[in-house]
Amino acid sequence: MGTERMAIAVDVRHVSKSYGRNAVLRDVCLHVPAGSALGLVGPNGAGKSTLLRILLGVARPSLGNVWYNDRPLWPHPEEHLANVGGFVDTPWFYPQLTAQENMWMLADLTQKSRRRADEVLAFVHLQAVKHERVSGFSHGMRQRLALAIALMKNPALIILDEPQDGLDPARLNEMRHLIERVRRESGATLIMASHVMPDIEQLCDFIAVFDEGRIRYFGAPSQLGRGIISDEVFWEVSPVDSAIGCLAELGITARVTGSSCIVAPWDDQFDLGDVNRMLIKKDIVVRTVARRRAGLDVRLLTYLEDSHVDARSVGISAANSPE
């Protein structure tokens, strides 16, 4: 999908944004290295879309600025958006125009070739419906058209706001593959807000957890909630009571989840193999053992609940974004 070009490094420096008295972003600092992928996660109204609007030159920051490759984006965003593609909010188009006309119009207005517009339409699998008016498009088709518009400039920075919003599982999968392919082939920097945590985990090198206009966490998705949330281990055993007693001797608190199933939090202080051997040695029948890592969504929720307790200290770690 287009030739590789120098990706854009993004610096968000002390950006705040208020609408009237409503502070939406509060002193946000971020550094996104060129070529990396950042996922913005957090509850609705946390400020993710507002930050994306600022990055796309749609909303002006009240304080602070954004730097693309060490050049300030504001006050003249249009001068820096030649290699930036993306969309925010629910993407919408001119309903009286066809998909191709919408693309051609933007291609003409940004001095890109119409051929390129047709290429990206094919890339997002809208070739067959390109002559249909956008007013008749489904939500999924609109999302793909929005992605096509985002990619038309062969951008070095791609900014996507909930690209999987409202898609069915098949389309969700398709969208993930499209984004993955774009990143792989273009090497562009990606900044994406999403509520689809598996996609964030799969696509992004870093995540920034937003809450109440602040960044509560910045780092690798796998590290979110480390030390707060442990994995869980499930056993299918018999007899259950003996197994719980045996685990209790080791200081592991297990609970019954079914007629012959128990579950216990697991934080690597014991070797799971040793524990299983001990259970078997005590004549406990172990039929199944499974270790499950808490999903990003669970870790995110727990992390946010926890960070509310000590928001100030977590805020300090958020400022230490990777170089």
Partner 1 sequence: MWTHVQWEYRRQIRQNRSWVSLLVLAAVGVLAAVGYRQIDAQTALGSVLGLGLADGFFVPVVTLTVCNSILLPFFVVLVSAESISAERQRGTWTVLLAQGIRPWQVLVSKWVVCASYAGSATFVLVSASLAMGIMLYGWHRTLLPSGTMASTHDLAGFLAVMTVYTAIAQVTVASVALAIGSFCRNPVASVMLTMGGLIITVLMGDFPFLADVQKILLSGYFSRFVDVLSVPPNWTAMLQGVGVFGVYIILAWAFVAWRDPFYD
Binding site for partner 1 (CB under 8 A): 19, 53, 56-60, 77-82, 84-94, 96-97, 101, 105-106, 108-110, 149, 153
Q: Any bridge partners for residue 43, and if so which?
A: none
Query: Which two three-digit tokens encode residue 128?
Result: 């067959």
Query: Which two three-digit tokens encode residue 263?
Result: 């579950």
Instruction: Tell the smallest beta-carbon distance from residue 137 to partner 1 (Å).
Output: 14
* Residue 58 or 311 with smaller CB distance to partner 1: 58
Strands 71-72, 285-292: pairing kind: unpaired
* Residue 87 or 137 with smaller CB distance to partner 1: 87
Instruction: Tell the smallest beta-carbon distance from residue 54 to partner 1 (Å).
Output: 9
Q: Could you identify the residue written with the tokens 């699998």?
A: 125
* Residue 83 or 238 with smaller CB distance to partner 1: 83
Instruction: Tell the smallest beta-carbon distance from residue 116 to partner 1 (Å).
Output: 13
Cα–Cα dist 88/110, whole Å: 19
- Residue 118 CB burial class (10 angstroms; 0-12, 13-18, ≥19): middle
Q: Could you identify the residue written with the tokens 């994306």?
A: 52
* Residue 145 or 296 with smaller CB distance to partner 1: 145
Instruction: Tell the smallest beta-carbon distance from residue 304 to partner 1 (Å).
Output: 26
Instruction: Tell the smallest beta-carbon distance from residue 205 to partner 1 (Å).
Output: 24
Query: Which two three-digit tokens encode residue 210?
Result: 């937003």
Cite the DSSP H helix spans in the chain: 48-55, 99-109, 114-123, 139-151, 169-186, 197-203, 240-249, 272-281, 296-309, 311-319
* Residue 48 or 216 with smaller CB distance to partner 1: 48
